[in-house]
Amino acid sequence: DQQVKQNSPSLSVQEGRISILNCDYTNSMFDYFLWYKKYPAEGPTFLISISSIKDKNEDGRFTVFLNKSAKHLSLHIVPSQPGDSAVYFCAASDLMRRGANSKLTFGKGITLSVRP
């Protein structure tokens, strides 16, 4: 079951440059997308989200872009900092599904390393 795919297992960028993390999904019922960051031995920490009615959401250094026709979203981190080094998970939900909570379907994650 690969409804949410993060095809690149890792990404390495130089401090100060842009990090672009990609995510694809196959379920057209997904209408809410989230990015979580995870450090070792900790739980996933919510970073940013986007509803399917938007194509961009920005919060400080983090911007998420959604291309519904391509079923693709990306997380941009500008400028990247060494403290951003972590595993980043893309997750999706179907909020319009009646009678159910908004369970999250996760991708496998991308390990981001930001080099000083």
94 residue type, one letter: D
| Closest distance to other proteins from the beta carbon of 88 (Å) | 12
Asked, as a colleague might, if the bond just before 116 is cis with ω within 30 of 0, I would say: no
Name the DSSP class of 41. T
| Closest distance to other proteins from the beta carbon of 14 (Å) | 28
**Of the two residues 72 and 108, which places its CB atom closer to other proteins in the complex?**
108
Compute the distance between CA of residue 33 and CA of residue 49 in angstroms, rounded to an integer.
6
**Of the two residues 65 and 106, which places its CB atom closer to other proteins in the complex?**
106
Compute the distance between CA of residue 94 and CA of residue 34 in angstroms, rounded to an integer.
12
Binding site for other proteins (CB under 8 A): 32, 34, 36, 41-46, 49, 89, 91, 95, 99-109
**Of the two residues 6 and 85, which places its CB atom closer to other proteins in the complex?**
6
